[in-house]
């Protein structure tokens, strides 16, 4: 049988017709002309291709409507890749996919204030002379930790690379096999070592590394012993490795540099870290390590940054590396970091005002109470659905505290009528506000630990506005 005749493409609407159609469309008419014509042209091209492949029928009367609809979808899916505020109902506090730490209000205000005008980035206002960017944040870091000197760079990966370049380029660095970490795929210690121009010398085994393994590996070309905090995993069971203090003694007795990559950056000298078995910055510095590095946006609760603390001589040397310029932070980061560090001057304030610290230490009674409140709000919005409060577990996330259970309370939503939870989760993700949930045993779980009450109302509205799947 012969197929249908080739469609008459001249009957496809012109761009002028499409633009007229868009001008009458409530959604499309708000768009700037550039992205609008791009989306219309793409949609028209696709329709033409489909017709050429003889898929579907061609009725010039509905071609305009079809192209406009397809353009609307294209614009919506492009918008979904835009950086968007998200409600995190997953219970993963430092969610890497959701931007790790959330800034304290004072940090947000400082950031907005500095962004809205000129600022004293490299001017010392008291003298009018040139100042060093980040100097105040560095002073705060020294004051809070007792370090001699501090340096702030783009992230901990940058801090580590700079440390290796400055102190061990072309020479060997001893690392235990139990500490060859990978953080989120693109950060793998052996690769960072290469990028820093140092030679990785693995010592010991995955589960056991002894001090004598380090001793035996030292040769004329050894520059450094590096201790890496296994921040996102733990080696448990028949396991052993020397601590930073022991390694520092060995390093110094053999004229080597001791570097502690702490990763998470627990800055408070506080019980929560002892309970979680998480080494703190202060403890690390007390061992006498020459320098330590950690992230600004993990347990510190600030913006993305890498902090290097150590002896003045060492830090000054790293500062002179031309690469330091490429890895430096901008004024917005400095503003947020300074305001975050100021909160640490009063530890009680840090614990209550830095959102991730508050989330980590919220007691179960308070969580249960908040989960009940949220469930009540949601029952009003979704009267037909089954919503219960249940016990569950939250996670610190962001490559921190992997073995620390955080009992929490969640609102469990078991959809009626066999609606797919994945379908609901997808609708919530693309909703306004965007909501990310945890799915557990056929239910949508909303963990209140990562949902401040200010988000709970938005969450309820978002869920009730979501096109009812049922």
Ligand X SMILES: *Cc1c(COP(=O)(O)O)cnc(C)c1O
- Binding footprint of ligand X on the chain (CB under 6 A): 155-157, 181, 183, 187, 228-229, 231, 261, 263-264, 295, 306, 399
Question: Shortest Cβ distance from residue 465 to ligand X (Å)?
Answer: 35
- Contact between 36 and 44 (Cβ < 8 Å): no
Closer residue to ligand X, CB minimum distance, 248 or 295: 295
- Cα 348–chain centre separation: 25
Of 310 and 399, which CB lies nearer to ligand X in the complex structure? 399
Quote the least distance from Cβ 162 to ligand X, whole Å: 12
Candidates 214, 212, 206, 215; CA nearest to 179 is: 206
Query: What six digits make up the tokens of 261?
Result: 């990559």
Q: Closest CB to ligand X among 145 and 400?
A: 400
CA dist 167 to 177, 193, 324, Å? 21, 12, 14
Which residue has its beta carbon closest to ligand X? 263
Shortest reach from residue 194's CB to ligand X, in Å:
15
Kindly state the smallest distance separating residue 228's Cβ from ligand X, in Å.
Answer: 5
Shortest Å distance, C-beta 263 to ligand X: 2
Cα separation of 457 and 378, whole Å? 9
306 versus 415: smaller Cβ distance to ligand X = 306
Least CB distance to ligand X at residue 195 (A): 12
Q: Which is nearer to ligand X, 99 or 452 (CB)?
A: 99
Q: How far apart are CA 43 and CA 40, in angstroms?
A: 5
- The candidate with the shortest Cα–Cα distance to 137, out of 405, 342, 319, is 342
Nearer to ligand X by Cβ, of 164 and 409: the residue is 164
Which stretch of DSSP H or E encloses residue 434? strand 434-436
DSSP assignment string, 266-332: B-S-SHHHHHTT--BHHHHHHTT-SEEEEESSSTT-SSS-EEEEE-HHHHHHHHTSHHHHHT---HH
């Amino acid at each position: 049988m012969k197929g249908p005749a080739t469609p008459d493409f001249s009957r496809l609407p012109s761009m002028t017709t499409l633009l007229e159609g868009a001008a009458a469309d409530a959604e499309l008419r708000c768009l700037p002309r550039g992205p609008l014509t791009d989306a219309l042209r793409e949609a028209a091209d696709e329709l033409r291709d489909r017709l050429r492949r003889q898929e579907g029928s061609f009725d010039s009367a509905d071609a305009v409507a079809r192209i406009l609809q397809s353009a609307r979808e294209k614009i919506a899916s492009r918008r979904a890749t835009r950086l968007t505020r998200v409600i995190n109902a997953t219970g993963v506090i430092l969610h890497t996919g959701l931007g790790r730490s959330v800034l304290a209000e004072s940090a947000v205000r400082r950031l907005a204030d500095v962004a809205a005008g000129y600022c004293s980035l490299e001017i010392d206002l008291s003298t009018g002379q040139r100042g060093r960017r980040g100097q105040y944040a560095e002073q705060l870091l020294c004051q809070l930790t007792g370090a001699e000197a501090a340096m702030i760079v783009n992230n901990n990966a940058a801090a580590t690379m700079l440390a290796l370049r400055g102190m061990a380029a072309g020479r060997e660095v001893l690392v235990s096999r139990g500490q060859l970490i990978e953080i989120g795929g693109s950060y793998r210690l052996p690769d960072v070592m290469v990028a820093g121009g140092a030679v990785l010398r693995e010592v010991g085994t995955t589960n056991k590394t002894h001090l004598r393994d380090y001793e035996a590996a030292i040769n004329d070309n050894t520059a450094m012993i590096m201790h890496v905090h296994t921040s996102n995993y733990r080696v448990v069971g028949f396991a052993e490795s020397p601590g930073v203090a022991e390694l520092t003694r060995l390093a110094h007795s053999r004229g080597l540099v001791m570097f502690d990559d702490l990763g998470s950056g627990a800055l408070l000298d506080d019980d929560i870290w002892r309970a979680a078995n998480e080494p703190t910055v202060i403890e690390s510095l007390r061992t006498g390590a020459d320098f330590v590095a950690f992230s600004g946006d993990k347990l510190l609760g600030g913006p993305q940054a890498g902090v290097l603390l150590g002896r003045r001589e060492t830090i000054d040397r790293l500062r002179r590396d031309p690469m330091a310029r490429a890895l430096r932070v901008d004024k917005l980061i400095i503003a947020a970091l300074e305001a975050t560090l100021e909160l640490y001057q009063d530890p009680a304030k840090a614990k209550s005002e830095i959102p991730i610290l508050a989330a980590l230490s919220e007691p179960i009674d308070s969580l249960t109470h908040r989960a009940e409140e949220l469930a009540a709000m949601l029952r009003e919005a979704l009267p037909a659905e089954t919503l219960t409060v249940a016990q569950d577990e939250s996670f610190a996330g962001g490559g921190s505290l992997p073995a620390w259970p955080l009992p929490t309370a969640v609102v469990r939503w078991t959809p009626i009528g066999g609606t797919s939870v994945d379908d609901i989760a997808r609708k919530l993700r693309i909703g306004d506000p965007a909501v990310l949930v945890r799915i557990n045993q056929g239910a949508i779980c909303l963990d209140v630990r990562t949902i401040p009450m200010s988000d709970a109302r938005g969450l309820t509205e978002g869920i009730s506005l979501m096109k009812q799947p049922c």
